[in-house]
Amino acid sequence: MSRFRALAAVLLAGALLAGCSTFSEQGRDEYRRAQGKAAEPSLGVTEAPAEATKPDLPYDVRPLLQPSKKYLGVAAVGAPASMKNVDAFAKAAGKKPNLVEFYSAWGDQYETAAVRNAWNYKALPFIAWEPYDKTLKQIASGSQDAYIRDYARSVKELNLPVAISFAHEMNGFWYVWGTKKATAAQFVAAYRHVHDLFDQEGATQVIWVWSPNVINPAPNVRLKPYWPGEEYVDWVGVIGYFARYGPSTYRTLYGPTASQIRAFTKKPMIIAETAAEAGERKPADITNLFQGLAAHNDVIGFVWFDIDKEADWRITSGPASARTFREQAADPRFGFDVTTP
């Protein structure tokens, strides 16, 4: 993700848009689940034999939308194509994450091997789908329909739940699909068009995530014009980082954004990307994040960007940070200790 350190307090404050990079791996592996195996009501992550029979019905993602405990997610280098860094994060955190986020460039095939890896780890895969090569106007016009339909058919064929965030941080100016090159109306049209094509293909295994950045770096950009509508969104995925300068509490970092959003939707909210920049304040930032989430029942979890990229966001950037994260993650309200039945 872009960082604009020259704007110091403003940009470092809210977004510090952590470096989204594409970890793309093409794959067409079929995942076969046991006939009649139902989702666990809490998370739905149950391992299935590789050679089982495909179920006749599409996977029902509804039990995953409002979990009984909060999601503890991570984005890590190479994951979930490789789970090595997720394992390292779990060891440091003292708890296995149950959601793994990764980034996919527009034009990539649906990464079935990566999705299956996350699922077999007992974690929900979460894809940030980044339309770098085509404009939102082109996507909405139908010129990309063959690609979108092929992607949707792959999602349907694999028949595993996946969260997808299309064109995240659209209310910022740092991406090609952001405010400098696209309008709110173009974003809404493209988002709805992609969603509609998935529905037409019967790819109902998707949890659709609408992911604005916190408004701090772009306070004059209103969020409501970017809202696709209740029928098009399952989760609101707010993105915001605790930078060395700027908002230092859950309330000041996420509160203004949440206030705007709650004026037009009550959909479940997840912190789709967050982390704290290395420094003396990091343990306090980690505590703020966990305690803030614990105090908000409508926020169902967060994804920690555990990558050293332009800043060291990893929970292991210092011993006090690692210790604090481990202590906070031990709270039984966060994450799931899922075992194979």
CA distance 296 to 315: 23
Q: DSSP characters for 94-112?
A: TS--SEEEEEEETTPPPBH
Report the alpha-carbon distance of residue 194 to residue 284 in Å, rounded: 40
Q: How far apart are CA 260 and CA 172, in angstroms?
A: 16
Cβ atoms of residues 72 and 95 within 8 Å: yes
CA–CA dist 260, 97 (Å, integer):
29
> Are 80 and 153 within 8 A, CB to CB?
no
Determine whether 310 is an active site residue.
Answer: no
> Given 25, 101, 111, 169, which residue is catalytic?
169
> What are the Cα distances from residue 279, in Å, to 15, 177, 287, 310, 328?
17, 32, 14, 14, 18
Catalytic residue among 25, 111, 273, 277: 273
User: DSSP letters along 49-103, please?
Assistant: -TTPPPPSSPP--HHHHS-SSBEEEEE-TTTTTS-HHHHHHHHHHTS--SEEEEE
Active site residues: 169, 273
